[in-house]
Chains A and B, each alone.
Chain A
């Protein structure tokens, strides 16, 4: 969930009244938000960097509000206030209009063929006669950053560029060139650089270095020029310094370049709808024309409301939806409601989203609780039922249950058990952050031995068991792997206690109603297994099938798990007993 931080007093001013913290918390809850924290810049700095650094920092009170991930329209003060005001029925949901420029042709953005290879989409729009204040300007910049981090997926899907239109002249060209051929003065730098130089310059930039990888290995880089060859931006990395906006900017040209056109349209709509209220004619946006390589043209921003028909009929639902910025009308047949979805609500894509809003406007807590009449008979999963029963009896047999991780290092399941990784059928993780998560375990034994190692101070003997799943590669499954339910137990003491672990196995067989003996019974026979001490390992057969092993662990295994005493172990596959 993204968090939006807004200045409390600014928020209350915009809402036209003040709230106590509790009242505002309540309002957030009703509206589906969460007031996460009440803090100040000073508090934040002193918490993160210490009191001395915080001296002199602003102690203006900030509200940090958690916003649902797909509600991009609530990521800035403007959108938040608009949403709450309509919800409280203090204002009507605005209708956003796209307009043509009064006395000239619309601004044009021409996309060339070369962009196809790297970043094929672009959309644009103009905010005409806008009035910035310091707060509005800051919010404008911050919204771009918030969108970049969320819907734009760290600029991979969409990158936003905003420009002072009065410093540049259209038509604009969106093209792609080899990095050596691009040369301009980037934002907040004193001199010109080639694109190549910029990439190495930004390698050390704490903010920009995270975006370099998006185009770094491409043969050509995207770039936007004005009609005089001035660089507006090199998306998705940096804008040109020439066209940068300031507090005095009156006309803003906004372009979004993208690898996903749907997202680009959403982002452009979000930028213009949030800030067009500061235009001379509020809630209007001047269109821009995008010309495609094939000569097609398109007008942006889209801004068209979407219409969804609900098969519900009450006047009340229509009122509830109107509270949520969704203009609604009961249709003439009285059976259906037509709902107009404004461009700000890109999250609404199905009638169910509208019903969710209706429920929220109604108040979840006002919905009467009912009991579903769904009549069903419960069943346990046979494998889990067996595991539950065995766990109880293993504890009764004097063994204590451990709970170890399903993920571990390759070393844990191979080297430390004196096994070769290739014989383990282990599934391998491609992106582990540390060695602890290299593979899914193929045995429970290493987890138990690590548990013993972490509890060497406990009085001996240690008797541990675990009944849980290991994961093995299996070509016959759709994903190429399957779980396998195992029972593993260890006995750790001054003497190996093979007879103890053997006795435990006998007890397990007794619990499973399998008698000693060949054929339909169970028996053990000597086996070679590198994990065990030579001559001290046996394979267990039940009903003619090999189901596992038991024995005294090899001294090298003991050492590798940083243990000092002899240890015997039992490991069986219990899926045979279903």
Chain B
């Protein structure tokens, strides 16, 4: 709050005038700095509609430092004339004076002095006038008294050119009475306090209005990662549809479960060094269900179960190679094998969402690891119609209309299911998609590195909205 005395003085001035008054004039007449008046105006404005103030700017002329000196002591040329005695003065001596140089040339052009170059003992200067009119000083004195308007524009510009005058812009307020004008001010309260509530004093107080334009203070809280928020939603969808979660907490898998059990031939390009991460330690898996492994070898190399097989030399060494799983279907295979070992087959619906790994070339949409979402249904007599139906229901819950492009789906081959020991007539439908792709679409992220991994921008995590897939 500005000085209360000044504020009240200002209010009394405003009360007396009919129209309004200029803050600059108030400052001049009160003999205080203009900034103090501006402070008083601002604090009054903060109180509501006591006064209104429109900012305006005006230009006026002011003397420069040199101008002030001249107004006081006379122009340089006048001072030259007055310092020369009757017998004249050597030019060299005159030039030593502070105002000598400028004053000499001006006085010469005014013909107030003359120069005798041939004078004995060096050039000498003599006065040619006794009384002179120092117009420059007179004009500057007018400006100093605030009567610059009496000068012609041309005169003012000439003095400006001599750097004796300058034109300055002054910002001031035009102050008028507001709708709640009063010469006494009540101090406004900023906040309600427990004391006010206890004493009831809030009833008499005026409260400073809030600025509803400003943002609030951000709550001090933690945030969940957007990809994980989407994962939660997918989990929720599967659970709503009656799917049981598979144990996918085994990133390291044998080629046997990742490829061979799925009837993926050993020369398949996906099993190439360029596509799959192999392990050097631990390099090999060492335990397999032996009779199942034998049935897998046979269906690859010789066929059987109604299949021609691939007719190649199936090698256990290839199957033993440990890798970072390339899909969670490796876990589905383990689960279906386990299911086949039950005494009596029971229908199942399984799902998982977890990391898979590919030794791929990396770009804006591909990383070496991503999350795969997978759904599996095993029962007697499932049809392609069932697959289409369940996919439709699943993607409906996602709110995705165009889902063909984000995933894969199909029925597992008999060469995969029958060697496991699943009964004939049991079909297994499955589908999969990546978690990252729908998340990037949902949150409008183009570069996968902005979403996954340590280069994530935490601000993005802080700012990400809740995830409702179907809206």
Q: Which residues of A contact B (CB under 8 A)?
A: 69, 153, 157, 260, 262-263, 306, 349-352, 359, 364, 367-381, 383-384, 388, 391-392, 394-407, 427-433, 436-437, 440, 447, 450-451, 453-455, 458, 462-463, 465, 469, 471, 473, 477-483, 485
Bound: A428/B322 CA distance, A: 11
Is A458's CB under 8 angstroms from B459's CB? yes
Is B286's CB under 8 angstroms from A407's CB? no
- The answer to whether A349 and B309 touch (CB under 8 A), given A374-B347, A383-B249, A403-B227, is yes
Is B384's CB under 8 angstroms from A405's CB? no
Is A370's CB under 8 angstroms from B389's CB? yes
Is A379's CB under 8 angstroms from B244's CB? yes
Bound: A401/B383 CA distance, A: 42
Q: Give the 9 A-B CB pairs with smallest separation, nearest first.
A: A480-B282, A450-B454, A430-B280, A369-B389, A395-B222, A478-B287, A349-B308, A262-B311, A381-B245
Q: How many residues of B contact A (CB 8 A)?
A: 88
Is A370's CB under 8 angstroms from B251's CB? no
Is B382's CB under 8 angstroms from A372's CB? yes
- The answer to whether A406 and B279 touch (CB under 8 A), given A350-B413, A478-B285, is no
Interface centre among A397, A463, A471 (most CB of B within 10 A): A471
- The answer to whether A380 and B242 touch (CB under 8 A), given A370-B386, A404-B454, A478-B285, is no
Is B389's CB under 8 angstroms from A372's CB? yes
Q: Closest CB of chain A to B258's CB: distance in Å?
A: 10
Write out the residue numbers on chain B whose beta carbons fall within 8 Å of the beta carbon of A440: 251-252, 324
- The answer to whether A376 and B453 touch (CB under 8 A), given A395-B224, A401-B228, A469-B251, is no
Is A485's CB under 8 angstroms from B278's CB? no
Smallest CB gap from A394: residue in B: B222
Bound: A307/B240 CA distance, A: 45
- The answer to whether A447 and B454 touch (CB under 8 A), given A260-B267, A429-B324, is yes
Write out the residue numbers on chain A whose beta carbons fall within 8 Å of the beta carbon of B232: 388
Q: Which residues of B contact A (CB under 8 A)?
A: 220-225, 227-228, 232, 235, 238-247, 249-254, 267, 269, 273, 277-288, 303, 306-312, 322, 324, 347-349, 355, 357, 359, 361, 367-369, 377, 379, 382-386, 388-390, 392-393, 411, 413-415, 429, 452-459, 461-462
Bound: A462/B222 CA distance, A: 10
Smallest CB gap from A477: residue in B: B250
- The answer to whether A157 and B458 touch (CB under 8 A), given A376-B242, A376-B348, A396-B221, is no
Smallest CB gap from A370: residue in B: B385
Bound: A371/B389 CA distance, A: 5
Write out the residue numbers on chain A whose beta carbons fall within 8 Å of the beta carbon of B242: 375-378
16 contacts between A and B (CB under 8 A): A69-B269, A263-B312, A306-B308, A349-B308, A350-B413, A376-B348, A383-B247, A384-B235, A395-B224, A398-B220, A403-B456, A428-B280, A429-B324, A440-B251, A463-B222, A483-B251
Write out the residue numbers on chain B whose beta carbons fall within 8 Å of the beta carbon of A454: 454-456
Interface centre among B251, B267, B392, B429 (most CB of A within 10 A): B251
Is A396's CB under 8 angstroms from B222's CB? yes
Is B349's CB under 8 angstroms from A478's CB? no
Is B459's CB under 8 angstroms from A427's CB? no
Interface centre among A373, A383, A481 (most CB of B within 10 A): A481
Write out the residue numbers on chain B whose beta carbons fall within 8 Å of the beta carbon of A372: 377, 379, 382, 386, 389-390, 429
Q: Closest CB of chain A to B353's CB: distance in Å?
A: 9
Smallest CB gap from B452: residue in A: A403
Q: Closest CB of chain A to B351's CB: distance in Å?
A: 9
Contacting residue for B281 out of A359, A402, A473, CB 8 A: A473
- The answer to whether A367 and B388 touch (CB under 8 A), given A403-B452, A479-B282, A479-B322, is yes
Bound: A384/B243 CA distance, A: 14
Contacting residue for A157 out of B223, B250, B267, B455, CB 8 A: B267
Is A367's CB under 8 angstroms from B384's CB? yes
